[in-house]
Amino acid sequence: MQAKTTILNLPTEEFVHPGTRACTGCGLAIAYRVGLKALGKDTILVVPPSCLTVLQGLFPIASTKLPCLNVTFASTAAAASGILATLKSQGKDNIKVAAWAGDGGTSDIGLQALSGAAERGENFIYLCYDNEGYMNTGVQRSGTTPMGAVTANTPFKGKLQQKKDVPAIMAAHNLSYVAACSAAYPLDLFDKIRKCMDMPGTKYIHIHIPCPPGWGYEARYGIKVGRLAVETGYYDLYEIVNGEFKLTAASEKLVEKRKLIPVREYFRSQSRFRILTDAQIAAIQNQIDAKWANYYKKDE
């Protein structure tokens, strides 16, 4: 088993410059910064339009020190395939390809290309940073916006539908590696990227990304909000290695503790959930409890 990375042995080399256009307290900026450390220098990035496009910089200045191809919204995974094919034809097997796309670019418009690439077994890492909405265009609902969240186009009733479970969709492609991470647990993200890097075919990593303007919390609380999602059992950290599901990191510890923070605390930490009623929260709490009862059962 791979030793867990600590802050002290995390690589010190930075691949992102300061002074980006990311919002103050951007959760993506944390995950991206640490994620690139895991990927390392010999990586080519593929990025569709998203907050990351802005974070990465406007011509002629790039905030990222890695080579990156900006591509159209729906084509991320296909473009990654094209770079891979080139590297293969050039015999450059030391260079990795990593796609970073938002939740809209993954769960909605980019899903077809992603499914195609995953089915073909293209050897790259796909990272979906999930801030649960179209934040770059001003906070509209996406496939992964959770039920009850008020967005610019679900302004009064909040989103009425459940969050799309993208990791499950990807797991259905029989991938060697699927993982769920959070910007609030950057070392877990680092270890998961490192773990899957040399696995065959497409690897999918989903990252929960707290977003101060989109979720409605003060920038300083970003890590706390992300952590609450995990500690309430609302968003789980896990990995699926060759089909085997396993909770990891903080979520794994929650199984041992047998104690979840009430999800109400998570909802009340953000203004986007302001319209959720006590009854609705209770219903969601029931869903979470049922899910965790299942985890506990497996643990016994």
Partner 1 sequence: MGTRNYRRKTSHSEHGPGDGGRTGSWRVERPVLNKSLCIPCKRNTEACFICWLLCPDVVISRTIPPKIDLEYCKGCGICAEECPTKAITMVDEAQFSEEEKEKE
Partner 2 sequence: MHIIENGNVAAALGVRLCHVNVIAAYPITPQTPLTEKLSEYVEAGEMQAEYIPVESEHSALAVCIAASSAGARSFTATSSNGLLYMHEQVQWAAGARLSLVMCVVNRAVGAPWNVWNDQQDSISQRDTGWIQIYCCDHQQIIDSVIKAYWLAEKVSIPIMVCYDGYILSHTYMPFEVPEQEKVDKFLPPFRPDYALNPEEPANLNTVTLPDVRMDVRGELAHGYMEIRYLLHEEMRTSLTAAAEAEKRFADIFGRGGDPYVEPYLCDDAEYIAVGLGSLTYQLRVSVDTLRKEGIKVGVMGVRFYRPFPDEAVAKALKGKKGVIVYEKALSYGYEGALASDLKSALYEHLAGTGKLPFVQNFIAGIGGRDIKTDDLTQTLRAATKNRVSKEPVWIGLKL
Indicate whether 193 belongs to the interface with partner 2 (CB under 8 A): no
89 belongs to the binding site for partner 2 (CB under 8 A):
yes
Q: Interface with partner 2 by CB under 8 A: which range of 6-14, 58-66, 170-178, 239-247?
A: 58-66
CA-CA distance, 208 to 135, in Å (whole number)?
Answer: 14
Distance CA 148, CA 144 (A): 12
Helix (H) or strand (E) holding 244: strand 244-247
- Residue 120 binds which one of partner 1, partner 2, none, with CB within 5 to 8 A depending on kind? partner 2
For partner 1, give the closer residue by CB, 25 or 158: 25
Q: Between 114 and 178, whose beta carbon lies closer to partner 2?
A: 114
Q: Give the β-pairing of 238-241 and 68-70.
A: unpaired
Of 58-66, 80-88, 242-250, 287-295, the segment contacting partner 1 by CB under 8 A is 58-66
Burial of 8 (C-beta count, 10 Å sphere; 0-12/13-18/19+): exposed
- Interaction between residue 73 and partner 1 (CB under 8 A): no
Candidates 28-36, 88-96, 115-123, 169-177 — which segment interacts with partner 1 by CB under 8 A?
Answer: 28-36
Question: Which string of b and e fits 118-154 if b means at least 16 CB within 10 Å?
Answer: beeebbbbbbbbbbbbbbbeebbbbbbbbbbbbbeeb
Q: Which one, 62 or 199, has the nearer CB to partner 1?
A: 62
For residue 190, give both structure tokens.
């680092």
Asked if 78 interacts with partner 1 (CB under 8 A), we say no
Where on the chain is the footprint of partner 2 (CB under 8 A)?
Answer: 41-44, 46, 53-54, 56-62, 64-72, 74-75, 77-83, 85-90, 95, 112-113, 115-116, 119-120
